[in-house]
């Protein structure tokens, strides 16, 4: 059995207690510290998204599955920066539900944390999109990066509402599993290895991540509205890509799905197995 002084990975029961303690700690953080760390997380996920968009440029020339795996692998940069660098990510903070289920975090504190972190993530991701747009990174590769960005954003607003919820559920089950596995780590290398495959997997499968979409959709919208000549030259019909469809057709249902996936499929399952007291059985 692993002990606190062991170099072995923590066992699942120990990981559950660690997750519970971290949930309490997160819920008690001051507003501005939480918000600042959330802005960082939004920017970090956006950087992973920039990497993914760049990898997607010209990917039609290689098999679909191979391209998706490559895009997923490079996107994992975002979650690595969040976990190892230290930041507050909305989708990962769904695991606070474990401490909430143990009555160590109130509903008010849980929702307060989610609200602050969600807003901070949006600010960080959106302003990263603005900076990338100003830098005209989307014109690189003869415009292939911008074409990939427009195509990704456009496809995301045309998902069905319940389809987006389902894809959001599956996505955050995998994101929360990545965070959960990182709780077993004893070193930075352990954390990185625990993060890469669940993170790459949800991207490769085409699942939907609300915070990543706070970059993917705005960068597409910025290109559409502020560089119409580039958009016209792309040949894509982006008439359905608007700020309204971004918020209502994608971000809203994906966020709902992310909450369900992380809470029900990961947090409550592991709470039930490892933390539930006999009185709660």
DSSP characters over 35-78: HHHHHHHHHHHHHHHHHHHHHHTTGGGS-HHHHHHHHHHHHTHH
**Whole-number pLDDT of residue 280:** 54
Q: Average pLDDT for residues 192-202, to the nearest whole number?
A: 97
Q: Which CATH number covers residue 149? A: 1.20.1080.10
For the chain, what is the domain count? 1
Q: Is the predicted pLDDT of residue 3 greater than 50, yes or no?
A: no
Q: Is position 2 within any domain?
A: no
Confidence of residue 1 (pLDDT cuts 50, 70, 90): very low
DSSP characters over 213-235: HHHHHHHHHHHHHH-HHHHHHHT
**Whole-number pLDDT of residue 2:** 41
Q: Is position 71 within any domain?
A: yes
Average pLDDT, the chain: 95
Confidence of residue 40 (pLDDT cuts 50, 70, 90): very high
What are the helix and strand counts (H, E) for the chain?
15, 0
**Whole-number pLDDT of residue 6:** 57
Nearest-10 crossing angle of helices 64-75, 77-85 = 20
Which range marks the domain in which residue 132 is found?
A: 12-274
Q: Average pLDDT for residues 192-207, to the nearest whole number?
A: 98
Q: Average pLDDT for residues 238-250, to the nearest whole number?
A: 98
Half-sphere exposure of 73 (CA within 13 A, CB side): 7
């Amino acid at each position: 059995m692993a002990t606190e002084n062991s170099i072995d990975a923590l066992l699942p029961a120990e990981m559950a207690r660690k997750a519970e303690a971290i949930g309490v700690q997160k819920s008690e953080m001051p507003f501005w510290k939480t918000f600042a760390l959330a802005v960082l997380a939004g920017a970090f996920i956006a950087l992973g998204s920039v990497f993914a968009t760049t990898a997607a440029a010209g990917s039609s020339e290689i098999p679909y599955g191979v391209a998706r795996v490559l895009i997923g692998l490079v996107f994992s940069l975002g979650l690595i920066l969040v976990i190892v660098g230290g930041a507050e990510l909305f989708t990962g903070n769904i695991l606070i539900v474990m401490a909430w289920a143990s009555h160590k975090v109130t509903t008010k504190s849980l929702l307060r944390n989610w609200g602050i972190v969600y807003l901070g993530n949006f600010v960080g991701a959106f302003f990263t999109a603005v900076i990338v747009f100003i830098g005209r990174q989307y014109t690189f590769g003869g415009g292939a990066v911008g074409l990939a960005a427009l195509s990704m954003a456009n496809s995301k607003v045309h998902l069905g509402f319940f389809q987006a919820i389902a894809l959001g559920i599956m996505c955050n089950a995998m994101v929360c599993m990545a965070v959960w596995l990182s709780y077993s780590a004893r070193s930075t290398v352990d954390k990185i290895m625990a993060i890469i495959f669940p993170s790459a997997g949800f991207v490769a499968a085409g699942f939907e991540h609300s915070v990543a979409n706070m970059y993917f959709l705005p960068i597409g919208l910025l290109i559409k509205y502020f560089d119409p000549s580039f958009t016209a030259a792309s040949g894509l019909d982006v008439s359905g890509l608007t700020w309204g469809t971004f918020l209502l057709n994608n971000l809203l249902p994906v966020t709902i799905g992310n909450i369900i996936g992380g809470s029900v499929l990961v947090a409550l399952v592991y709470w039930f197995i490892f933390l539930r007291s006999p009185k709660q059985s």
